Structure 1
């Protein structure tokens, strides 16, 4: 278990009783109750729906409440450390405010001017496409494992990370979003303001998502393709020129 604060820290060994059916968060709570009453850990629902108890277990970003102890051998040493991509507050608690800053930078849904609330209509296929991305619980495991954020602190200024590029992609493919009519080009914004080009589609964000969202295949790659079409397809370029001229 990693113990420390922004000034530094270290791994400390603990031996804790494990009962059948328990998850890592249960062990953390028992550790707090019996051996380390000042251990800091963030959690809330213990049902894999709030995203609060994100940490790294044996080096892999995971939810403490969704990682069963039965996945480890009895003789295994289970190492729990804070999210590596974000500054440590204390012990397993990290400062994830970077993510909320990026969330505020993403322009929200722009409703169509000609439709009143209650008049929106969408094809079921479009509903299902967006619904996958709406399953996100904002645990920020994808943000933590993305090497663009994790290994390069200087990129945080210009890179939104997979969670918020996924949000851009969701809004860009939304059939009722009227952003372009208001002069907002989400494709250009994703590429030039939020760092879509930094993503090299290694799919590490998809691999750690506890909701099973196919972030890379269904959001980031399609968004990259639409950006490329806008920028390099000669027919799209010509069509945009004609549209602007008319």
Structure 2
């Protein structure tokens, strides 16, 4: 294990330690080597000074979303935040995701997100088209492919002030990750939700809290996959929901029955 004598430098870390009952920041001096990320230093801290420090991680490659935390107040992945972005004189503060309940130390209970995921109706396949027979234009594939890059790190959920600063909103607001999922399904050319009686735009507004979003783009700013959540998902979904609800021509069209072919 690298020690302070052989390290590039020794960094000042402040790490939140505690449980649901309470806790606080503890100061540590930890060795840092060339090319390391914050998760490397947290692991060294576990190995040398705080063996009972709880931190969630898995792939260490920025693809599982497990090691989400807040570094100097900004939601980030520990494994994708390079130590080279800080100077040796910086104090690096690592805290758990603020929007979710603490389990222990840096580990939070993100079950809220899985509950919201279950509330989003799944893709509805078109009637009479068997799996393997689906056909889509490449432009339609590209339109929603961006959203499929989501690794469900829930950094966007954590930074969204509707969730972060207002616990009472959680029952009515799905958050940017799942509103993005609704937008993806709504723009999917093969989704037959409307034919089955499901209006995704109406449910986004009335059941998943689309109106709470005020498009500050904070979710986009913290996304490690650089998904343009606000511009490409939330704003278009808001526009389509508004058209459905307030456009008199759309309203009239919904009232007129189509003549049988």
Q: TM-score range by the shorter chain?
A: over 0.9
Distance of 1:50 and 1:24 partners within structure 2: 16
Matched, 1:230 2:261: no
C-alpha spacing 1:179/1:18, structure 2 compared with 1 (3 Å): same
Distance of 1:14 and 1:124 partners within structure 2: 52
Residue 8 of structure 1 corresponds to which residue in structure 2? 22
Residue 96 of structure 1 corresponds to which residue in structure 2? 110
* Higher strand proportion (structure 1 or 2): 2
TM-score when scaled to structure 2?
A: 0.93
Matched, 1:123 2:142: no
Matched, 1:199 2:204: no
Q: Which moved more, 1:125-134 or 1:235-244?
A: 235-244
SS in 2 for 1:119: coil
Mapping 1:1-246, distance limit 5 Å: 1-243=15-257
Distance of 1:245 and 1:102 partners within structure 2: 39
Which structure 1 residue ranges, 4+ long, deviate > 4 Å from structure 2?
Answer: none
Q: Give 5+ residue unaligned stretches, structure 2.
A: 1-14
Give the structure with higher Rg (CA). 2
* Higher helix proportion (structure 1 or 2): 1
Residue 4 of structure 2 corresponds to which residue in structure 1? none
Give the deviation of 1:240 after TM superposition: 0.6
Q: Deviation per CA, 1:84-113, whole angstroms, max 9, x where unpaired?
A: 000000000000000000000000000001
Distance of 2:203 and 2:187 partners within structure 1: 14
Distance of 2:101 and 2:35 partners within structure 1: 32
Distance of 1:58 and 1:142 partners within structure 2: 17
Give the deviation of 1:49 after TM superposition: 0.1
SS in 2 for 1:2: strand
Distance of 1:163 and 1:239 partners within structure 2: 32
Give the deviation of 1:137 after TM superposition: 0.1
Distance of 2:203 and 2:241 partners within structure 1: 10
How many pairs were matched up?
246
Give the deviation of 1:245 after TM superposition: 9.2
Q: Deviation per CA, 1:132-190, whole angstroms, max 9, x where unpaired?
A: 00000000000000000000000000100000000000000000000011110000010
Distance of 1:12 and 1:235 partners within structure 2: 61
TM-score when scaled to structure 1?
A: 0.99
